[in-house]
Amino acid sequence: MTAIDPRAMVSRTARLGCGVRVGAFAVVGDDVELGDGCVLDHHAVVEGPAKLGRENHVYSFAVLGGDPQDMTYHGERVSLEVGDGNQFREFCTVNRGTVKGGGVTRVGNHNLIMNHAHIAHDCAIGNGTIFVNGASLAGHVHVGDCATLGAFCLVHQFCRIGAYSYLAAGSAIPKDVPPFSMISEPRETRCYGVNKIGLERHGFSPERIQAIEQAFRLLLRSKLNTSQALGKMRETLAGSEDVSVLVRFIESAERGLTK
Residue 6 DSSP label: T
Task: Parse the chain into domains and list their residue ranges.
Answer: 3-158, 205-251
Is 121 noted as a catalytic residue in this protein? Answer: yes
pLDDT exceeds cutoff 80 at 186: no
pLDDT exceeds cutoff 80 at 33: yes
For the stretch 101-142, pLDDT in tens is 999 999 999 999 999 999 999 999 999 999 999 999 999 999
**Nearest one of 159, 53, 31 to 108, comparing CA atoms:** 53
Is 110 noted as a catalytic residue in this protein? Answer: no
pLDDT exceeds cutoff 90 at 89: yes
For the stretch 109-120, pLDDT in tens is 999 999 999 999
Q: Catalytic one among 121, 126, 134, 198?
A: 121
Q: Catalytic one among 85, 126, 139, 198?
A: 139
Q: How many residues belong to the chain?
A: 259
Is 122 noted as a catalytic residue in this protein? Answer: yes
For the stretch 5-25, pLDDT in tens is 999 999 999 999 999 999 999
Residue 134 DSSP label: T
Spelled out in words, what is the top-level CATH class assigned to the domain 3-158? mainly beta
Identify the three-state secondary structure at position 206. Answer: helix
The chain-wide mean pLDDT, for the chain, equals: 96
Do 206 and 200 meet the contact criterion of CB atoms below 8 Å apart?
no
Q: Catalytic one among 23, 35, 116, 122?
A: 122
**Nearest one of 113, 132, 133, 115 to 123, comparing CA atoms:** 113
